[in-house]
With several copies, the nearest count.
Chain A
Amino acid sequence: MIKFGVVMFPGSNCDHDCFYAVQQFFSDQVDFIWHKSTDVHGYDCIVLPGGFSYGDYLRTGAIARFSPVMSEVKKFASAGKPVIGICNGFQILLESGLLPGAMLRNTSLRFICKYVHIKPVNFSTPFSKGLKKNEAIHIPVAHGEGNYYIDDEGLKKLQKNNQIVFQYCNERGIVSDDFNPNGSVANIAGICNEAGNVLGMMPHPERCCDPMLGSSDGKRIFESLLQSLNQRQTV
């Protein structure tokens, strides 16, 4: 069994959603990890959920990255184990330096909650291995600061290292500024670290695992992860 740990920061609010989605569809083995904990032993994957850790005060993710658990998450990541940061989790990964770049406010200066489409463009991470080229994943976003920023040099590096994992697109998989909900550089919806085991993404896969909620495309990302982890375990 693959064991998941969902970190709870003060102000996390998608922690239960992630927990529920994992438990319902992917694994009986899922725990909450309190942000003051310094023990992440025994987990196969750590999820940094969405929400408003510390109210998003100062900057999104800026305070949460000092939670005691984060130094353990860093060690976990540098051991090559998978970490996924969703929305606020992505913002925390940026602030903690586990992923490059920073978040700015959406160009509309408004919070935006709606379904969008994203297209996987990197098939070498555990999260995206199982996805298909040209597939358009129907998935919700819900954020006020999802406008991903990185300077030109950094962007080139991302591209060169194949670190862009998801881009905003339309229902036919066409990537363009027209379908970018927040103004992010290069229509980026998700990136990974150089090693590919740390993923940050603004859209919420945990919100679209159950067909009852309108889309189950989010399952594909978790399924890909499970597949990779199972392969690794059997190896």
Chain B
Amino acid sequence: MDFKVTIVVTLKPSVLDPQGTTVTEALHHMGYNNVSDVRMGKFMEVSVQASSEKAAEQQAHEICKKLLVNPVIETYRLTIKPAQEAAV
């Protein structure tokens, strides 16, 4: 079965986010003073083939821990859906 995994990777709250800071400043420059605390992260979509949703989820966590996420600075969360549903 095919599953669509979406992964959101964000910097840990304790890690300074230079990009977020710069974007916040740029928005203020543009006059958006009501906007604040921009934090930048990554969004990934991955197709996983597995026998069950559970197996797919386990795989997804595995590749996150091994490759996609650096636990020193980042945390992540993921959602998983059968591919057909995701396509809708």
Contacts and interface: CB of A to CB of B under 8 A. Distances in A.
- The reply, when asked whether chain A contacts chain B directly with Cβ atoms under 8 A, is yes
Given A54-B26, A58-B23, A107 B18 contact: yes
A101 B40 CA distance: 20
A54 B22 contact: yes
Nearest to A151: B14
B23 A57 contact: yes
Given A104-B73, A105-B19, A109-B19, A66 B30 contact: yes
A174 interface: no
B67 A105 contact: no
A151 B14 CA distance: 8
B19 A149 contact: no
Contacts of A169: none
A63 B22 contact: yes
A129 interface: no
B67 A104 contact: no
Interface string A137-162: 00000000001011100000000000
Contact of B18 (A66, A100, A102, A105): A105
Contacts of B72: 94, 100-102, 149-150
A57 B39 CA distance: 12
A21 to B, nearest CB: 29
A16 interface: no
B88 interface: no
Given A66-B26, A66-B30, A57 B19 contact: yes
B15 interface: yes
Contacts of A105: 18-19
Contacts, number: 54
Given A54-B22, A63-B22, A104 B70 contact: no
B16 to A, nearest CB: 7
Dominant SS among interface residues on chain A: loop
Interface string A34-76: 0000000000000000000011011100110010000000000
Interface string B1-38: 00000000000001110110011001001100000000
A183 interface: yes
B29 A66 contact: yes
Nearest to B30: A66
Given A54-B26, A57-B23, A62 B70 contact: yes
A124 interface: no
A95 B71 CA distance: 10
Nearest to A56: B19
Given A59-B70, A62-B70, A104-B73, A149 B15 contact: yes
Given A57-B22, A100-B72, A101-B72, 16 more contacts: A55-B18, A55-B19, A57-B19, A58-B19, A58-B22, A58-B68, A59-B70, A62-B70, A66-B67, A102-B70, A102-B72, A104-B73, A105-B18, A107-B18, A149-B72, A150-B72
15 contacts: A54-B26, A57-B18, A59-B70, A63-B22, A63-B26, A66-B29, A66-B67, A102-B72, A104-B15, A104-B73, A106-B18, A147-B18, A149-B15, A149-B72, A150-B72
